[in-house]
Amino acid sequence: MRFERRDQPSAVLTLLAPVGAILAALVVAGGLIAIAGANVFEAYGLILKGAFGSRLGISETLTRATPLLLTGLAAAVAFRARLWNIGAEGQLYMGALAVAAVAMVPGIASLPGALSIPLCLAAGAAAGMALLLVPLGLRLRFGVDEVVTSLLLNFVAVLFVSMMIEGPMRDPLAFGWPQSVPVPDSALLPKLLERSRLHAGLLIALAAAVVVWWLQSRTVFGMRSRAAGLNPRAASFAGVPLGRTLIAVACLSGGMAGLAGAVEVMGVKGYVSTDLSPSYGYSGIVIAMLANLNPIGVIGAALFSAVMFVGADSMSRALGIPSYIADVTVALSLLTMLVAIFLTQYRIRR
């Protein structure tokens, strides 16, 4: 058996790849559900029902998809340029912390929302950027591989957040759990739906997907970032300023991750705590790959992950299957997607 490269990746297969990958992941995860002693179809039925079966389910799914969409974009943008940003989790936390910090500035509470909301969002994005510029700087200056440094910075960032919310940013009125001083009402994102947690962050994330798509497919920056990813040497010979391009990519990627933290604080929590993100940053990597790094595809992939997470929570309550099954399925879909993409590019010959 050997593999033969296709001249042109099959367009039909490329579109089918994520579907096949998700189905394959669901089949394997189904085996794990069966091992746990539950009826697989009933479990998947309950997952779908939990995610879509009620007004609450739908609004929760969309709320959950919001940060995932942004971290998915963060990974997609970076990976396209072969910038291995695995630090979205830390960038998300720094973005969240920046919002809380801005909210503590005297006078912010009296600003109108039209001013304070953009200000907080910008601060969040900027903090995410700043954190990603560290590993990128180390790569450009010292030749340090950014994978490990951006991973390690995740731990540093969460510890930093913990230090701040137990120290200078601690909410004196919150008993027990350490959390930051709450964000004033004027900086909270408006709700999209009464009596739900769904907030305008979803619109921001959707707009971000469109903006990223436009940047990548319609601008010089997009062309350069793709060239830097495909073949940095050739790109450099062709006059692409590699360093500058990567810095721009890092700003966009880190900005998206920082924004994810910002909208989570301004839309859902209202304050920062160290349980803000159930590894949204890492899930973003899966989402970007499932979308084949396409910004519009990220919307669908984020939705799939959100359905799994929200649905598995309610299925878990009904059947007693650990809700970690959602994490397992999402992680598996990354592995199956890698194989699926391979099959779009290669033929198997005997």
Copy the structure tokens of residue 337: 């997607």
What sign results for the dihedral spanned by CA atoms 45, 49, 51, 52? positive
44 scored as a contact of other proteins (CB under 8 A): no
**Distance between CA atoms of residues 204 and 267, nearest Å:** 11
Residues recorded for the chain? 350
Among positions 56, 109, 151, 174, the unique one binding other proteins when judged by CB under 8 A: 151
Q: How far is CA 125 from the centre of its chain?
A: 13
Site for other proteins contains 320 (CB under 8 A): yes
CB closer to other proteins, 116 vs 225: 225
The 3-state DSSP composition of the chain as helix, strand, coil percent (nearest 5) reads 75, 5, 25
The span of 104-112, 161-169, 182-190, 236-244 binding other proteins (CB under 8 A) equals 161-169
Query: Is residue 289 within the footprint of other proteins (CB under 8 A)?
Result: yes
The DSSP code for 182 is P
Contact call for residue 13 and other proteins (CB under 8 A): no
Site size toward other proteins, by CB under 8 A: 45
DSSP state of 349: E
Q: Answer yes or no whether residue 319 interacts with other proteins by CB under 8 A.
A: no
Backbone angles phi, psi at 2, to 5 degrees: -145, 170
Residue 1 CA to its chain's centroid (Å): 38
Using rule CB under 8 A, residue 143 touches other proteins: yes
**One symbol per residue from 24 to 43: x for binding other proteins (CB under 8 A), - otherwise; what is it?**
--------x--xx-------
* Shortest distance in whole angstroms from residue 293 CB to other proteins: 11
The least distance separating other proteins from the CB of residue 289, rounded to whole angstroms, comes to 6
Rounded distance, CA 145 to CA 139, Å? 6
Is the torsion defined by CA of 275, 279, 56, 100 positive or negative?
positive
Across the strands, what pairs with 341?
none
DSSP assignment of 56-95, as one string?
Answer: HHHHHHHHHHHHHHHHHHHHHHHHHTT-----HHHHHHHH
Is position 318 an interface residue for other proteins (rule: CB under 8 A)? Answer: no
Query: For residues 76-135, which are near other proteins according to CB under 8 A?
Result: 79, 84, 86
- From 43-51, 122-130, 221-229, 278-286, span contacting other proteins (CB under 8 A): 278-286
Strand partners, 347: 4
> Is position 237 an interface residue for other proteins (rule: CB under 8 A)?
no
Does 156 bind other proteins (CB under 8 A)? Our answer is yes
Name which position in 6, 166, 210, 317 contacts other proteins (CB under 8 A): 166
Smallest gap from Cβ 90 to other proteins, in A, equals 10
**Positions in the binding site for other proteins (CB under 8 A):** 3, 32, 35-36, 79, 84, 86, 138, 142-145, 147-149, 151-156, 159-160, 162-163, 166-167, 282, 285-286, 289, 320, 322, 324-325, 327-328, 330-332, 334-335, 338-339, 342
